């Protein structure tokens, strides 16, 4: 699963990574080391046959929803069932996005019941791009809310010790095809060989806390398996 991630790279860095420039860059949120559902986040989409860097709320709000509060529960979509779910099936066919991230946080449940957070990121220090879906919703006054969800799948074997599911991380070679795909059939499990992980401070559990210290290595008594 993915319920918290970091997205703190500069606009210039994101634009360079995804090959976007000029009028194809919308105003973006400020750097955020503790992105949580209902927060605004940077996403990459196709708009008028161009690749655009823009902002959407994390937590997909279906077009038919009575109010946007349902988005707080739809921050992830299971790749195995997204095409069948009323909330996601239209987006599966027509509205794909990439969600740039420095990495994501996952909590390991320890034998004593406590939870130790870990940060998972790209091994090459270039961050990651999650496969996502997006949707638009209109209120009674016609104002449009654009929102997105992150697709998740079974965790690779090397990450099972941390959680049995993981966000779908796409390699750069798959970005362009994903943005114009009309299904999720092309998505495979995240490749753990391109990832590294380390323990971080439990302060990340407080959504009000922010800053680069949240992704800094935090020593714990027991180290997880290395991969």
For residue 137, what are the β-bridge partners? 145
Query: Cα-Cα-Cα-Cα dihedral of 122, 98, 63, 180, to 10°?
Result: -140
Outline where the chain has alpha helix (H): 11-18, 89-94, 172-180
The predicted pLDDT at position 3 comes to 94
pLDDT in tens, 134-177: 999 999 899 999 999 999 999 999 999 999 999 999 999 999 99
C-alpha torsion angle, residues 150, 151, 156, 160 (rounded to 10):
60
Q: Which domains does the chain have, with CATH numbers?
A: 5-215 (3.90.1680.10)
User: pLDDT tens, 163-219?
Assistant: 999 999 999 999 999 999 999 998 988 888 889 999 999 999 999 999 999 999 998
E-state strands within the chain: 5-7, 32-35, 40-47, 50-58, 76-78, 96-101, 103-109, 115-122, 128-138, 144-154, 165-167, 195-199
Average pLDDT, the chain: 94
Of the candidates 175, 170, 149, 13, the one whose C-alpha atom is nearest the C-alpha of residue 89 is: 149
Is pLDDT at 83 greater than 50 in this prediction? yes
Amino acid 227: pLDDT? 47
pTM of the model as a whole: 0.94
**pLDDT at residue 125, rounded to an integer:** 82
């Amino acid at each position: 699963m993915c319920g918290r991630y970091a997205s703190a790279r500069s606009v210039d860095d994101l634009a360079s990574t995804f090959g976007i420039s000029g009028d194809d860059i919308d105003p973006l949120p400020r750097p955020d080391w503790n992105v949580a559902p209902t927060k605004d986040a940077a996403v990459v989409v196709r708009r008028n046959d161009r690749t655009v860097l823009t902002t959407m709320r994390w937590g997909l709000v279906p077009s038919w929803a009575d109010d946007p509060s349902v988005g707080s529960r739809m921050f992830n979509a299971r790749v195995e069932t997204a095409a069948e779910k009323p909330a996601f099936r239209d987006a599966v066919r027509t509205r794909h996005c990439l969600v740039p991230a420095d990495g994501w946080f996952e909590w390991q449940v320890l034998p004593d019941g406590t939870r130790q957070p870990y940060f998972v990121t790209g091994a090459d220090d270039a961050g990651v791009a999650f496969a996502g879906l997006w949707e638009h919703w209109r209120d009674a006054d016609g104002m449009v809310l654009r929102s997105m969800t992150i697709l998740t799948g079974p965790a690779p074997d090397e990450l099972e010790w941390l959680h049995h599911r993981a966000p779908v991380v796409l390699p750069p070679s798959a970005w362009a095809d994903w943005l114009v795909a009309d299904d999720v059939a092309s998505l495979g499990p995240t490749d753990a060989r391109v990832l590294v992980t380390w323990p971080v401070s439990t302060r990340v559990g407080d959504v009000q806390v922010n800053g680069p210290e949240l992704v800094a290595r935090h020593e714990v008594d027991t180290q997880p398996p290395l991969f």
